[in-house]
Structure 1
């Protein structure tokens, strides 16, 4: 997949998934603006990309507020003359159950994930519309935002909001030929290493160099960082010009298109619904097959 001549920003790209996205885009021919909060991490990521034959510059900044977003877009235009692709990957975790989560826990995660995606996408969209030849906004979501996850009120809410913004912006930016999609990645990172079902097999794979077992790669859809980068490269390319407003999952050997929220069951009654009428109708009607919630537990391999 060729991205020659394209300029991309990847937020939160000093390490982990973000660095994987930046490396993949550079390997495909794009020039990349790397971003992280830590200047030393940014320099190391830029060096990593350039040593591999790519081209990159770095912008240390805390994603969330408008000045940081404008610095990122400004660096792309100043150093490379334009902006074609934005990947909003920056994020933090402050996991707590509801009754223990503080205002700061909530606000910090929402500021980086949700507000950061908004401010960076707005700055990028303004520039892309000025250029007049389209663009790509690739927003990083999470299974937690699609299904909810224990202890992640802040993170799940922010990621659900990101998926909603992707659908909204796909409508608003269609005339400008700017596509907007949400990526829902699952990969072996510092976060997934804490999941008891995955930790031993990830550690064993890293120790021996052997691939993760099939039940992890296919059934759980969990693989390496490199397993998820192909989707970002595809969405950044001309081949994805007709793909917009979608939430697309990837991990291990698994590629999936997430459905959008839709009415599952509908019932009608003349004159509207009283509480008593809803209670009578619910067990065998609307509520007969309730929706699941929460990320499913990983499949347990047969011993």
Structure 2
């Protein structure tokens, strides 16, 4: 990727779109990329929020414009790319992070609950990445695409059928896009963040640590290390790294960060393999299961050690 403007930052001269970046964790990403030298297109569905976010960057010497639109449709995705090119001349970085929640258990989840979340998270990621990748390939200078997942998409979470499906699908698409875009020198990675946001602050087990943040107090080491929990700014450095030349060889990965904990998630892989000549009957499976498979069954949901 090229660079131009002389800020000497790792993203000097580059242009980024960050979807859903009007507030919270996503705004922390936008501010961090701008501080690293990138010009940023801030996106939100609320015009006042988007404008305020862009001003918070320009008031401190960064470059940013606000673009209002609800991601999901092809038209909004293309409009974001067109805005980046019209304002700053090119596009080098896309971070997809727009999202909504419609949490409820399976038997109470409506079609609208499911469709709304999947449309914003999953379809919105697809349409924005397609538009951005097309532009980056036309430029012929590579690029960085970073899609934001969630621990829920990796391991599941009670009451989040729609969100888990969308976030798991995003990581699946990332692996495919990493293969498809590698020849064009466009890397595609997923970030699995954990931080104090509107989406996490309602979790009862996080309340003591959320209260500490609101009171301006430090978060306990247990939360920062074992729960990967801290303020949004803790995560922003990972986005700058993945968008920079330092991560040129990082592709198709899911990387987690929160608090003091940086982690590389594994791809799904076979945990146990057994063979039977001629194939498996139900009885043969029942016979081998307790001996070979029971002890290797995988956990679901997030598990945490006891606080110390």
TM class by smaller structure: over 0.9
Determine the structure 2 residue equivalent to 1:238: 245
| 1:42 aligns with one of 42, 50, 53 | 50
Q: Which of 104, 117, 133 is equivalent to 1:125?
A: 133
> 3-state SS of the aligned residue for 2:250?
coil
Q: Give, in whole Å, the separation in 1 of the partners of 2:57 and 2:86.
A: 19
Q: Which runs of 5+ in 1 are unaligned?
A: none
TM-score norm. by structure 2 comes to 0.96
User: Could you list the per-position Cα deviations for residues 262-302 of structure 1 after superposition, in whole angstroms to 9, with x for gaps in the alignment?
Assistant: 01110000111111111111111133320111112x44434
1:192 aligns with 2:205: no
Match of 2:32 among 7, 24, 39: 24
Q: Is the 8 A contact 1:11 1:90 kept in 2?
A: yes
Aligned to 1:273: 280
Partner of 1:288: 295
- Give the corresponding residue for 2:65: 57
Task: Render the CA deviation track for 1:241-260: whole Å, top value 9, x for unaligned.
Answer: 11000000000000000000
- Secondary structure at 2:205's aligned position in 1? coil
Q: How many residues align?
A: 300
Q: Does 1:154 align with 2:166?
A: no
Secondary structure, counterpart of 2:75 in structure 1: helix
Does the aligned pair in 2 maintain the 1:10–1:34 contact within 8 Å? yes
The two structures have a TM-score, normalised by structure 1, of 0.97
Give the aligned partner of residue 4 of structure 2.
none
CA shift at 1:210, angstroms?
2.1
Moved over 2 A (4+): 298-302
Match of 2:87 in 1: 79
Equivalent position SS for 1:182: strand
Does the residue aligned with 1:220 lie in a helix, a strand or coil?
A: coil
Q: Distance in 1 between matches of 2:289 and 2:10?
A: 54
Q: Which residue of structure 1 aligns with residue 6 of structure 2?
A: none
Secondary structure of the 1:217 match is helix
Q: Distance in 2 between matches of 1:198 and 1:300?
A: 13
Partner of 2:307: 301
Tell me how far apart the structure 1 counterparts of residues 200 and 230 of structure 2 sit (CA, whole Å).
Answer: 10
Distance 2:208 2:223 in 1: 12
Aligned ranges for residues 62-141 of structure 1 at < 5 Å?
62-141=70-149
